[in-house]
Structure 1
């Protein structure tokens, strides 16, 4: 059912009351079901008791460096764009951090591919890539870097609109969780300059977006069949990847990938410029 305008505005303006942020989370929310495992903890569907509003709760096991995580969450709460998943607040419960955020009913792009058991077509990809670029353009205008663009971190709501998720959390949580889990985040989506640790900026997200485009087209990012540690050496030294069978795709899509996967970040396109690329200019939501 198509949400009414009133319903839409409620979605946009939902907020936790200040006194609710000081309560125990189970007094404020009813956990309905587990949606899946995020990279750093389980994500649950929950109901905000006083309004009936559906939200998502990510439960992250935490051991150290809480101040850093709180700082990151504060940054996330400063984001106000319909192309970035909204963060409503956070709670500590025993040894877990509960991060309360906007619920995206269709799940992540990688969930959708897994459930449908097929990759995406160019119409679907153009719509998702356009929304993702709008989210990145917004973040980059605030001098923020996402750092973890991949199909698993692009969520869709029930209207088929794509939103960036897990912004900022990944960067800080990596240090915190490293003791528990040795391979955190794989390098397959990482820009060469990030792997080489020669300093990087927002352009690193554009490389990751190009890898994500290949992931949506083929189901996996390039080098996915080799060991992550070997990929770390290959990405900076090999020519930029592209799709395995270029003849199956339009020249526009091939060009979109080529424009994002430029090894020198200074020559790589910005998110704002990229929004003028013909592959995404005429995109419209097609996922229902």
Structure 2
């Protein structure tokens, strides 16, 4: 009988005490956190000398406001907020508007600020563009480009599986986005999963949702916190060990295999009901060999490629 190795103590964060609202909201209604200022007019980053920082090539249209947008429908809901499909009243352009109710719990607020800063600075064709962000009446609104084919979750639901040639195109784009995040922005995404990879009708695949991303300022580039979606976490993250950029590669490997076989790799059938429970899944990821591509269904090159993810 196989003896499973016990999991190390998981490093789980606990809710912090709420901060006074005056610590992040001015009397005029401007949300502030460090060098970030956000209000109804938009977002601004300031230096210690209170000078505006350049937005790295993103032009700010001063005429663009929340009042210029009309809601068409709700296209997504989650713990991070509500996402609406909206249209610019005057030019007809479609956007995805993410509305987040401000939470004065410090940990949640820091995640929102993290997402705002990464979105503001990102300049990569494989990262979803955030055009504007606003703070008004207790809510932060982020205006994203509209990816009209939804996420990879929607794609898999429609086509069941994705063939190898298309997976190659998909994978290349996500990897280009990760190279940008890892090497130019020094960011670990920490939550790479199908719902955070968006697709449009041109076949473009882009990374989104940086609420739990980690900025790495030290030379070793390692973290030891436990955040993200556990299904796609690398073993070192689940076991509470330090981790680095490679954890995103593990997660992408799981996503690619899921797209190929049409189900989450740790489930045993397509009905998604025969998978392990929470603790069994954590134990399997940490203590068992990683899932592999069935050699009778895929090319040797693809099988080798998937296996390489886990040993990266």
Q: TM-score, normalised by structure 1?
A: 0.74
Q: How far off is 1:253 after superposition?
A: 1.0
Q: How far off is 1:158 after superposition?
A: 1.6
- Partner-residue secondary structure (3-state), 1:128: helix
Which of the residues 161, 165, 181 maps onto 1:139?
Answer: 181
Instruction: Give the Cα–Cα distance (whole angstroms) in 1 for the partners of residues 58 and 95 of structure 2.
Output: 10
The match for 1:265 is none
Q: Does 1:259 align with 2:303?
A: no
Which of the residues 163, 173, 182 maps onto 2:206?
Answer: 163
Q: How far off is 1:185 after superposition?
A: 5.1
The match for 2:36 is none
Which of the residues 135, 140, 151 maps onto 2:194?
Answer: 151
The match for 1:241 is 291
Mind listing any 5+ residue stretches in structure 1 that lack a counterpart? Answer: 1-12, 173-183, 263-267, 269-288
Note if contact 1:188-1:222 (Cα within 8 Å) is conserved in structure 2: no
The match for 1:119 is 161
Note if contact 2:191-2:229 (Cα within 8 Å) is conserved in structure 1: no
Q: Does 1:230 align with 2:273?
A: no
Larger Rg: 2
Runs of 4+ off more than 6 Å: none
- Partner-residue secondary structure (3-state), 2:296: helix
- Partner-residue secondary structure (3-state), 1:241: coil
After superposition, the Cα gap between the structure-2 partners of 1:213 and 1:78, relative to the gap in structure 1 and judged at 3 Å, is: same
Note if contact 2:177-2:206 (Cα within 8 Å) is conserved in structure 1: yes
- Partner-residue secondary structure (3-state), 1:169: coil
Q: Map 1:180-191 to 2 at 5 A.
A: 186-191=229-234
Q: Deviations over 1:121-140 (max 9, x none)?
A: 11221111111111111111
Instruction: Give the Cα–Cα distance (whole angstroms) in 2 for the partners of residues 39 and 242 of structure 1.
Output: 32
Which of the residues 56, 61, 65 maps onto 1:17?
Answer: 61
Q: Map 1:1-288 to 2 at 5 A.
A: 16-18=60-62, 20=64, 25=66, 27-38=67-78, 40-64=80-104, 65=106, 66-116=109-159, 118-142=160-184, 143-166=186-209, 168-171=210-213, 186-224=229-267, 225-243=275-293, 245-262=294-311, 268=312
Between structures 1 and 2, the one with greater helix share: 1
After superposition, the Cα gap between the structure-2 partners of 1:107 and 1:191, relative to the gap in structure 1 and judged at 3 Å, is: same
Note if contact 1:113-1:219 (Cα within 8 Å) is conserved in structure 2: yes
- Partner-residue secondary structure (3-state), 1:107: coil
The match for 2:14 is none
How many pairs align?
A: 233
C-alpha RMSD of matched pairs (Å): 2.3
Q: Deviations over 1:155-190 (max 9, x none)?
A: 112211111111x21348xxxxxxxxxxx8541210
Instruction: Give the Cα–Cα distance (whole angstroms) in 1 for the partners of residues 128 and 118 of structure 2.
Output: 13
Q: TM-score, normalised by structure 2?
A: 0.68
Note if contact 1:210-1:256 (Cα within 8 Å) is conserved in structure 2: no
After superposition, the Cα gap between the structure-2 partners of 1:71 and 1:151, relative to the gap in structure 1 and judged at 3 Å, is: closer
Instruction: Give the Cα–Cα distance (whole angstroms) in 2 for the partners of residues 156 and 91 of structure 1.
Output: 25
The match for 1:178 is none
Q: Deviations over 1:65-92 (max 9, x none)?
A: 3354124311222110111101123223
